[in-house]
Structure 1
């Protein structure tokens, strides 16, 4: 009798947790629920050296071959919006290159990574001239290791994981009974 009551309580608790996860996740699109992205950078903001080949690198949990849009926007004295369509590589990484040769040294911007129109992450960015002694972004070759990352929002375990846990718990308890 005690085993059945315990099994019922475990299944009920698991279903409640799964229901809470589904309720939290249903407000966002599938891309925003399960996927996120990080942009490689040091410190609170990304720093890019201005020039014709300013490179942004990062990583995402999207499948290889998925399309991303990386955008850089400034609203200062000389506002601009640059976009770059890129594809997720086999290793889950992405690379976007911008021509920032006409951008003024010290400009602040916002870097945004999107998939299917949904924002995966947003990072404040400082654009500096080449002669400024700051850390430059990691080149696109090889597998750069992020020192610090910013990630998009999204729930932890999905509803599927909760259902699998509930079924597994029920099977274990039923075998013991």
Structure 2
């Protein structure tokens, strides 16, 4: 991640927070402590990915778990270059009266910005873990499935030569 991209992402988050004001405190008590994502299948589930080669297998695991648990899955959000589309969509989810669940696999700078936006809007982060992932399809699918099925118990995956990223699950 270059310094310019990191600075731009932080700037976009600051602009999004400035527009949101103090009216976003609404989802903090949506999910009681200890309750798993799969245990609350009434919330819509949205996956967030950064457009890497790891995305398709991760999304396949998320979709399989969502289907297994009868969850309503929304189209995946993909980081599309350096524009604010993803942040605007997260902001819209925070403004919506109905809470939503987010699971994601993104680079560390994007995760920092997104999770700060979730927290500042009153959302709760259930799981946030650094990962180092290779191209192992089964490992990626298991990570996506685990985030949906039981976010508190997802273990970090480690591949020393793998791509550094952050997996997360939250309620907004």
TM-score (norm 2): 0.26
Larger fraction in strand: 1
Larger fraction in helix: 2
Compare CA radii of gyration and give the structure with the larger one: 1
